Amino acid sequence: MITHQKYIHKNIIIGEIMNRENTEMEAEKLLDNMDLSLDDEEQQSDEDTTLTHPEIDAFDNAKLYDERITDEAFYASNNYAIHPKGFFKRIYPKDGNPYWKQIHNYFAIPYLKLSTAKQGSGVKTLEANTGYTGVRFLNNDLEVNEVALSSSDRAEFTSSKSRLTLNDWTPPAGSDRSEVYKAFMEAAQAGYEPHVRPNGKVYPAFIKRMTGYTQRGWVTPDLHIRSKHDLYVGKVATQSEKKGDPEIQKETTREIIKHSPAVRIFLAGTYASYTKGRICISDEFCPIVNYTGEGEKGKSTTLKICAATEGSPAKGRMIIEAISSEVGVENFATAYNHGPVFLDEIDELLRTNDLPQRIMRLTNGGGRVIFDKDNTFKQPNVWNGMFFTTSNQSLRQSVKGDGKESAILTRLIEIDIHDPDLHIFFPDKNDGGKVSQWMSKLSENYGHIYDEIIAYITKNADELEQKLADFESELLTTEELRYFKKNRRSAHTLALIMLGAEIMESVLGKESAMLTHEAINIYKNKYAQDINEQIDYADYKYISHLERLYEWINANKGMISWSKFAYAEQSDDINESISRTQKKAAQTLTNNATHRGSVLAEVKINRVMEHSDDFEGTIVFNAMGIKHLKQHAQLDFNELCQSLEKLGMVEPDARFTPNKVKDLGLSSSRTTRLTLKPIDELRSDMITTKNSILVNDSEKTEGQTEILNQNNADSEFNINKILEASAQYEEDYSAYFDRT
C-alpha cells in the first residue's frame, strides 16, 4: 500500500501559502519545485503500479483546490466548510479572490437528528423532543466514528471534556475553537434542507431526521433495541453482543436440548420473553422461572446457555448475582426491558426479612417511588420481561404462609434439580466431558439467535398473538388442568413458555421444538396431579360441569327469575341488612327478566350468598334456557344432568303449579329440577368420602386377611367358618369358592 502523508502535507502547505498575496502563482511555483519522487518505503509493489491520490491532492492551481473544497465538502457555505480533511473558513481578502483556510484537521459533521420519544411500558411513544444529534467524526486514529450528542453536549463539543472528545476526537486549538464551533452549529442548522454553496450550485440536505430512544426493548412494533443500537441515546449500557459463528451456537444449543428437558423449558421461556411489550403489551406482571436445588448440579450452567441467546454467557455480562443491591437489580431489569433477565443465586433475597415483598416488586415490573438526597422525586425504573433465576432453597417453600403466597405462586414456574422427569443434562453426572465442550463452544459463539428471534416476532406478531391466546385457552378449558382456571396468571405464564417453543422451531428446527413441547407437557401434567390427586377424575369432571353452569348463571342473571335471594354486596344503607339487600336484588332481577320476556330459568336460593358462586338451592330450565346454555356455555343439558345425577343433585320429575308453568314457559307441569351446592363444599365432601373409602378398604382387607390366616392351618381348612366370618364385610370370598 502507498501512504499519502506527503500529499496531505503538501495541501497544508498550499493552504498556508494562500494567505499571502498572489496565492495562485506562489502555489504553482511551490508545486513545481517540490520533490514528488517516492521515498524507499513508499515504493510501489510489483502488483500495484497505479498511484492512487487522496480525495484532495496537489492541484494544478489554488483555484482548483478551492473549487474542490467547495464541491467535496459535507457542507459548505459562504462562511465555513466541513470537509473530510477538516474544518475550513472562507477568507475574503481586500484584494484578490476568496479562498478556504483550514482551521482544524479533524472533521465532525452532524448527519442525524434524533427526536427522543417518551416511552411507557408498551410500544406506544408520545411527546417527542429534539434533544440529540448524531455526529460522524474523524478520531485520533484517523478512523471515522459516530456518537450521539445531547443539546448540552453540542454546546460544549469543542471542549477537552466533551462527549466527542471522550470518544477520541481531537478538539481544535484555542485560537480556532470558536470558529470550529460556529461552523458546526451552522451546519447543524442548515443541514435539513438543500443549501447553496459558494459555487452557486444547490446541494442536498445531509441531516436525516429520526426518532431516538432512551429506553430499550420494543420502541415501535417493528423495532427492538439494546444500548448498542444506532437509535439508542440513553446512558445505561447492556451487554448484548455477538461473537463467533451463528451455526456453531445453534448446533450446540440443539445438542444441549436433546439431553436436558429442564433446559428446554428455560430456553423456551427465554425466547418467549422477547414477546413482552410487543405481543404481551398489557401484561401487568413479570413471571419468574426458577431452578432450585443444591449447588454444583448445573443450575448456573442453565442460565449461561440461555444468556448466550443475546450475549456473552458469563456472570457480570448477561448474568448478575442477587447479591447485587436492590437498585442494581432494578437497573439491570430496566436495561433488559422486553426480554430475559438472568439472576443467579436468588437465595440472597432469602436472607432478607421482606422476601415476598421484594419478589413482588420484581414481578410487578418496578415503579416504586424514589427520592434522592435532596428529597426530589426521581423517575422510577419500570420493566416488562421475564426473570430466569436459580436458588438453593425453593421459592415456593420460602414464601409459604405469607399473605402474598398465592400471588407469588401464580407468577412462578419452579423446577427442582432432582426432578426425574425434568432433569438437567446427564442425571448420573457421567457426561464424558460433553457439558464442558458445550460451554466452551458457547463462550466463543454467542449472541446470534437474538436477531433471529426479533426478526421472527416482527414478521409473525399477529400469528404469535393468536397462538398465545389459543395456548392460554387450552389451559383454561382442559378439564384435567382445572388448576389454571382459578390461576389465570399461571395459565398465561405457561402459555408464554409454550409460545417460546413455537418461536424455537423457527430458529433451531422442528426437533428442538418438539422436544421442548414434550418437556412442557410433563410440567403441565404435574399441575393436574397437584390439584386432582385427592379427587377421582370422574368426580372432578362432574364438578367441572357444575362450575360452567355457575358461570352461565352469573353471566345471564338478568335473564333469570330469582326466588328468595340473588347475590349482591352489602348496601351503603347501614340500616339495611345483607338479607334484605339480596332479597331486593332477586326481586329486581326477576322483574327485569319478566318485563323483557326473556326468562331462561328459575333459580331458587335458600340462604344469603357470601359470594357470586355461593349457590345453595335449585334451578329449573325452560326450552329457551336449555338452548341458550348449549350455545353460549357449550354445555349440553343432558350431559349436565348425567354429571349432577352422579352427585345426587338431580330431581328428574319435579312437579310445578300451573302459574309457575306459565311464568317459566314450561311445556309440562313435571320437569327436571337440578340442585345447586357450593363447589368448595362439594369438593371437600368428595375428598372426605374418598379418604373414608380408602380407610374402609384398608380395614376390610386386613380383616379378610386375618380370617384366612386363622382358618388356613395345615391341620384345618374350614370353609364354613371363613364364609361366616366374612359376612360382616361388604365383599366376601363366596364367589371365589363357588367358581368352577
pLDDT tens for each residue of 35-53 = 434 344 434 334 433 333 3
pLDDT for 181-239, tens place per residue?
A: 999 999 999 999 999 999 999 999 999 887 777 777 888 888 887 776 767 766 666 67
**C-alpha span between 652 and 13 (Å, rounded):** 111
**pLDDT class for 509, splitting at 50, 70, 90?**
very high
φ and ψ at 143, to 5 degrees?
-110, 145
Q: Which residue has the higher pLDDT, 322 or 732?
A: 322
Helix (H, G, I), strand (E, B), or coil: what is residue 98? coil
673 and 579: one domain?
yes
Examine residue 463 and state whether it is found in any structural domain, yes or no.
Answer: no
**C-alpha span between 626 and 82 (Å, rounded):** 82
Helix (H, G, I), strand (E, B), or coil: what is residue 330? helix
**C-alpha span between 43 and 40 (Å, rounded):** 5
pLDDT of residue 711: 53
157 and 83: one domain?
no
Domain hosting 428: range is 246-458
Residue 43 per-residue DSSP state: P
pLDDT for 42-92, tens place per residue?
A: 343 344 333 333 444 444 577 888 899 999 999 999 999 999 999 999 999
Helix (H, G, I), strand (E, B), or coil: what is residue 176? helix
**C-alpha span between 304 and 708 (Å, rounded):** 63
**C-alpha span between 590 and 587 (Å, rounded):** 5
Residue 465 per-residue DSSP state: H
The chain-wide mean pLDDT, for the chain, equals: 76
- SS3 for 397-415 is HHCCCCCCHHHHHCCEEEE
pLDDT of residue 103: 94
* Grid cell in block for residue 652: 328428574
Single out the residue of 359, 260, 265, 270 nearest to residue 310, CA to CA.
Answer: 270
Examine residue 12 and state whether it is found in any structural domain, yes or no.
Answer: yes
pLDDT of residue 122: 37
Q: Please determine, for residue 262, whether its predicted confidence score (pLDDT) is greater than 80.
A: yes
Q: Please determine, for residue 400, whether its predicted confidence score (pLDDT) is greater than 90.
A: no
Angle at the Cα of 411 (from 407 to 416), degrees rounded to 5? 115
* Grid cell in block for residue 595: 318485563
643 and 543: one domain?
yes
CA dihedral of residues 124, 335, 286, 123 (deg, nearest 10): 10
**C-alpha span between 81 and 75 (Å, rounded):** 6
Q: Please determine, for residue 25, whether its predicted confidence score (pLDDT) is greater than 50.
A: no
Single out the residue of 533, 498, 489, 504 nearest to residue 518, CA to CA.
Answer: 498
Q: Which of 7-11, 83-87, 486-490, 729-733 is predicted least confidently? A: 7-11
pLDDT for 544-600, tens place per residue?
A: 788 888 889 988 888 899 999 998 877 777 778 888 889 988 998 998 888 888 889
**C-alpha span between 584 and 592 (Å, rounded):** 12
Residue 374 per-residue DSSP state: T
Q: Which stretch of DSSP H or E encloses residue 604? A: strand 601-605
Could you tell me whether strands 601-605 and 386-391 are parallel, antiparallel, or unpaired per DSSP bridges?
Answer: unpaired
330 and 277: one domain?
yes
**pLDDT class for 298, splitting at 50, 70, 90?**
confident
722 and 666: one domain?
no
290 and 420: one domain?
yes
pLDDT for 332-346, tens place per residue?
A: 777 788 888 888 888
Examine residue 721 and state whether it is found in any structural domain, yes or no.
Answer: yes
pLDDT of residue 335: 78
326 and 270: one domain?
yes
Residues 705-733: what's their mean pLDDT? 51
Q: Please determine, for residue 531, whether its predicted confidence score (pLDDT) is greater than 70.
A: no
162 and 201: one domain?
yes
Q: Please determine, for residue 19, whether its predicted confidence score (pLDDT) is greater than 70.
A: no
pLDDT of residue 225: 79
Q: Which of 183-192, 279-288, 347-356 is predicted least confidently? A: 347-356
Examine residue 144 and state whether it is found in any structural domain, yes or no.
Answer: yes
Q: Which of 403, 427, 458 is the last residue of a domain?
A: 458
Could you tell me whether strands 144-150 and 80-83 are parallel, antiparallel, or unpaired per DSSP bridges?
Answer: unpaired
Examine residue 471 and state whether it is found in any structural domain, yes or no.
Answer: no
Helix (H, G, I), strand (E, B), or coil: what is residue 87? strand
Helix (H, G, I), strand (E, B), or coil: what is residue 341? strand
pLDDT of residue 710: 58
**C-alpha span between 393 and 146 (Å, rounded):** 48
State which amino acid sits at residue 177. Answer: R
349 and 450: one domain?
yes
- Helix, strand, coil shares of the chain, percent, nearest 5, are 45, 20, 35
pLDDT of residue 150: 77
Q: Which residue has the higher pLDDT, 489 or 117?
A: 489
pLDDT of residue 270: 94
Contact 527, 495 (CB under 8 A): no
Contact 586, 609 (CB under 8 A): no
Contact 446, 311 (CB under 8 A): yes
CATH number at residue 423: 3.40.50.300
pLDDT of residue 401: 72
554 and 618: one domain?
yes
Percentage of residues of the chain with pLDDT beyond 70: 73
Q: Which residue has the higher pLDDT, 59 or 152?
A: 152
pLDDT of residue 185: 92
286 and 397: one domain?
yes
**pLDDT class for 535, splitting at 50, 70, 90?**
very low
Contact 216, 226 (CB under 8 A): yes
Q: Please determine, for residue 669, whether its predicted confidence score (pLDDT) is greater than 90.
A: no
pLDDT of residue 220: 82
Contact 363, 387 (CB under 8 A): yes
Q: Please determine, for residue 377, whether its predicted confidence score (pLDDT) is greater than 50.
A: no
Domain count, the chain: 5
CA R_g for the chain = 39
Q: Which of 57, 85, 104 is the last residue of a domain?
A: 104
pLDDT of residue 713: 47
Residue 432 per-residue DSSP state: T
336 and 408: one domain?
yes
**C-alpha span between 488 and 583 (Å, rounded):** 33
**pLDDT class for 240, splitting at 50, 70, 90?**
confident
Helix (H, G, I), strand (E, B), or coil: what is residue 106? coil
CA distances 243 to 3, 411, 722, Å, are 33, 34, 81
Percentage of residues of the chain with pLDDT beyond 90: 25
State which amino acid sits at residue 45. Answer: S
Q: Is 642 left (phi over 0), alpha (psi -120 to 50) or beta?
A: alpha
pLDDT of residue 734: 41
Could you tell me whether strands 319-321 and 340-344 are parallel, antiparallel, or unpaired per DSSP bridges?
Answer: parallel
State which amino acid sits at residue 320. Answer: I
**C-alpha span between 445 and 707 (Å, rounded):** 72
**pLDDT class for 351, splitting at 50, 70, 90?**
low
Only one residue has cell 369358592, namely 737
Residues 466-483: what's their mean pLDDT? 85
pLDDT of residue 173: 84
Could you tell me whether strands 412-416 and 386-391 are parallel, antiparallel, or unpaired per DSSP bridges?
Answer: unpaired
* Grid cell in block for residue 713: 392351618
Q: Which stretch of DSSP H or E encloses residue 532? A: helix 510-532
Q: Which of 211, 229, 258 is the last residue of a domain?
A: 211
CA distances 473 to 287, 406, 468, 476, 550, Å, are 19, 21, 9, 5, 19
Examine residue 467 and state whether it is found in any structural domain, yes or no.
Answer: no
pLDDT of residue 35: 40
Examine residue 427 and state whether it is found in any structural domain, yes or no.
Answer: yes
Examine residue 203 and state whether it is found in any structural domain, yes or no.
Answer: yes
Residues 141-152: what's their mean pLDDT? 83
Q: Which of 196-200, 282-286, 321-325 is predicted least confidently? A: 321-325
